[in-house]
């Protein structure tokens, strides 16, 4: 029986690192290309999850729990970011439904 913590024999840690790099690249390109704040927000979350995958892969390959502890703290910070970021995005999109990232200056008092 294959445990969830074990890598399958044909899939090594480098496969997970390549997947993390591809996900991070997709998120970075999406962040640079798209102007919709909601899509940009999802791209940042995709980049954070790619980094988490990389940390877990290194932690498993090296037999160290440090990477998994870092992932825990990244997830806590990402949860706080979701709360604050979604509040800002919703407040902007309520005022102007077709808002772009350039309309964030609209929130100035």
Torsion sign, CA atoms 17, 3, 71, 28: positive
Phi, psi (rounded to 5 degrees) for 88: -65, -45
Secondary structure (H, E, C), 66-104: HHHHHHHHHHHHHHHHHHHHHHHHHHHHHHCCCCCHHHH
Delineate the domains of the chain, giving CATH numbers in brackets. Answer: 36-107 (1.10.287.3510)
In the block, tokens 């445990």 appear at 3
Using CA atoms, how far residue 44 sits from 24, 55, 81, in Å, is: 9, 17, 10
Angle, helices 37-62 vs 66-95, to 10°: value is 180
pLDDT tens series, the chain, 109 aa: 445 566 556 778 889 999 999 999 999 999 999 888 788 888 999 999 999 999 999 998 888 888 889 999 999 988 998 888 888 878 777 877 777 777 666 666 5
């Amino acid at each position: 029986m294959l445990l969830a913590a074990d890598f399958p024999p044909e899939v090594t840690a480098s496969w997970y690192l390549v997947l993390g790099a591809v996900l991070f690249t997709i998120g970075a390109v999406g962040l640079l290309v798209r102007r919709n704040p909601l899509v940009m927000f999802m791209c940042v979350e995709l980049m954070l999850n790619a980094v988490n995958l990389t940390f877990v892969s290194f932690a498993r390959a090296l037999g160290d729990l440090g990477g998994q502890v870092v992932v825990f703290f990244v997830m806590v910070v990402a949860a706080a970011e979701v709360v604050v970021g979604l509040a800002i995005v919703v407040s902007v999109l309520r005022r102007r439904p077709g808002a772009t990232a350039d309309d964030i200056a609209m929130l100035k008092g």
